[in-house]
Structure 1
Amino acid sequence: MNKLRGIDLNLLVVLDALLAERHVSRAAVRLNMSQPAVSHALSRLRHLFNDPLLIRRGGQLLPSAKALEIAPSLSEALRQVRELVEPGGFDPVRERRTFRLAMSDYGSAVVLPGLVKLLRLQAPGIDLAVTQSSREAMLRLVLDGECDLALGVFPDLPERLDAEQLFLEHFVCLSDREAMRGEDRLDMQAYLSRPHVLVALKDEANTEIDRALQAVGHARRVAVTLPHWGNAPRLIYGTDLLLTVASRSLAFYEHDPALVTFEPPYSISPFPFVQVWHERRAADPGHLWLRKAVASVSRPAA
């Protein structure tokens, strides 16, 4: 008990933020403290625990073995303290915080408009910083504490990452209406005879679409490869190009009389679109609120 009396419990709040952010400046912003104050607190924490806690390596702060050991207990203890002193819990109206999200422009088109609208109405002090990377890079950002959430398609998750399915997506084809010559869909032969647009980052060129084609013994000719979903449908106008793409990305074009959408002439498995976070953030009230907000704006329309 005497040792507990000598501890400034605010130091534990700083430690929790540092372990979550792994960055002194970001922890300072999160805590509404100056960077020198956070650095000074880290120095005191190192003395208190007789451990470096966070070790600078390769331009980032990595937690020591002891820090990893105490992180879950620390987070849970602070959550219980907050419930005692803040009976109302997390208040999005008063919160001042920046969340960092990683997603493709598909995710930005499908999730971001609804999320931003919700934040402006319910949590005007919460800001978003969005980045785009490959699937592997986005997971690494979450693992390293550089991102709060990654939204996308992640078949294999590393340990210590949790995920929630937001919706199940399926593929459709998009064609210029004149290039369809009066047809409302294409059989396999006609599908393969047309040049295709592929949306993929360089290291993700072997997509679900092409793997499904390979499974039935076919391959398509890709005439254009680009990394952005948003521009792909525009390439279809007035050309013989075909685009096979996630259906939600075509919401803006589905009623365009110059275009035709139809089901692919072969089976492509639907894919779960998920949000991914690190387990160390699971009990963070603000993070939990954000995940619920993302899920609410991602629900399929009734």
Structure 2
Amino acid sequence: MLASSSAHDWQQTVDPKNATLRGVDLNLLIVFDAVMQEQNITRAAKNLNMSQPAVSNAVARLKVMFKDDLFMRKGRGISPTLRARQLSTPVRQALQLVRNELPGTSFDPATSSRIFSIAIGTPNDVRFAPELIKNTAKKAPSVKLNLDSLGGTSLQERLIQQEIDYIIGYTYFDNADFVSTEIFSDELVVICAKDHPRLGQSSKISMEQLLHEQHASLSPTSDVMDLNHIVYKDLQVQSSYRGATLGNLIAVAAQSELLCVVPRWVKEFFPTSLELHAMPFPGEQTQIRAYLTWHESRQNDAAHIWMRDQLMAVCGEVVAKG
């Protein structure tokens, strides 16, 4: 529990020109992290099992320590200043490193109430979410999963800020701050309508035919643009339709003369009533790899290691069955 000294007392006991860890109450960083995550004093106090006045007092001391307002009132909550946002990631990572090394921090899935946030880009959310939920409920009944199908460029920042714990998707994060490991691969196929006038009865498609035909491709605003980029990065094709999801592409291709390129399992997932025809992708890259990614600061966290193992195992089982 934090001491109840005032911001005035704190200002008197710490010489800002010679501040060291000996003169800093590190418990204040725990309060800072909680308030930063909740952006609400009352909720932060509840999470910390502290009184609201004690948290408010700690925030006042933090303001003196960092010479910044840190949090400004906004409606019924508070909004972090630029300085608070700059401090958020290093403080959270430092606290996590300390927690990882504390005695008695072993993770017991049977009793833990940990919350894990996982970003699974569509369409893999539909593929894996049901089994992930069932597996977690069976092995860790009090653990909560927050599964998010949204993707986009903000994922990397959310991983840094530790707003999410993992990403499952087709993007490999080539950065020392992240760890990406391949967890499965999918065969790429070209989809068209079964009654397509030129390709409906073909067992294969040439690259020349692929480039000549009109395509249904993903919109630039799609959350799975990484898949679109991987497939079409070296191909110049004409897209007559741009959709938000792979399901949209397949539905349009099934009812027109457009083609789309998707992982084979996506085609198998859709009802046969769509009358789809699949051919092997004629490019050099006939497989697309998917990765599990997390921030390197979580590398040795016992709880994260357990959940990583679960994610890799469940995804592997689903792919094997598919």
C-alpha change, 1:79 and 1:136, in structure 2 (3 Å) is: same
The answer to whether the Cα contact below 8 Å between 1:28 and 1:35 also exists between their aligned partners in 2 is no
C-alpha change, 1:286 and 1:168, in structure 2 (3 Å) is: same
- 1:135-189 CA-to-partner distances (Å, cap 9, x unmatched) read 4211111112222222213344444222222123342111221213422222234
Residue 119 of structure 2 is aligned to residue 102 of structure 1: yes
C-alpha separation in 2, matches of 1:281 and 1:45? 29
C-alpha separation in 2, matches of 1:210 and 1:156? 19
Matched to 2:85, the amino acid is L
The answer to whether the Cα contact below 8 Å between 1:194 and 1:241 also exists between their aligned partners in 2 is yes
Aligned to 1:164: 181
Corresponding residue to 1:211 among 206, 228, 233: 233
C-alpha separation in 1, matches of 2:181 and 2:112? 24
C-alpha separation in 2, matches of 1:292 and 1:283? 13
Corresponding residue to 1:222 among 236, 239, 244: 239
Matched to 1:15, the amino acid is I
C-alpha change, 1:36 and 1:195, in structure 2 (3 Å) is: farther
SS of structure 2 residue aligned to 1:178? coil
- TM-score normalized with structure 2 length: 0.69
Corresponding residue to 1:202 among 218, 221, 229: 221
C-alpha change, 1:35 and 1:201, in structure 2 (3 Å) is: farther
| 1:61-140 alignment runs, 5 A limit | 61-62=84-85, 64=87, 68=90, 71-72=93-94, 74-81=95-102, 84-85=103-104, 89-140=106-157
Q: Percent identity?
A: 16
The answer to whether the Cα contact below 8 Å between 1:152 and 1:274 also exists between their aligned partners in 2 is yes
Bigger Rg, structure 1 or 2: 2
Higher RCO structure (Cα 8 Å, ≥6 apart) = 1
Structure 2 unpaired stretches of 5+: 1-23, 72-79
Q: How much does 1:94 deviate?
A: 2.3
The answer to whether the Cα contact below 8 Å between 2:173 and 2:180 also exists between their aligned partners in 1 is no
Aligned to 2:194: 177
Aligned length: 283
SS of structure 1 residue aligned to 2:247? coil
Residue 304 of structure 2 is aligned to residue 287 of structure 1: yes
- TM-score normalized with structure 1 length: 0.73
How large is the Cα RMSD of the aligned pairs? 4.1
The answer to whether the Cα contact below 8 Å between 1:55 and 1:63 also exists between their aligned partners in 2 is no
Structure 1 unpaired stretches of 5+: 1-6, 214-218
SS of structure 2 residue aligned to 1:196? strand
C-alpha separation in 1, matches of 2:251 and 2:265? 15
Residue 59 of structure 2 is aligned to residue 36 of structure 1: no
Corresponding residue to 1:143 among 143, 160, 163: 160
- 1:198-230 CA-to-partner distances (Å, cap 9, x unmatched) read 1244384972222232xxxxx222111112123
C-alpha separation in 2, matches of 1:240 and 1:75? 54
- 1:46-74 CA-to-partner distances (Å, cap 9, x unmatched) read 49x95579955458943549x838944x5
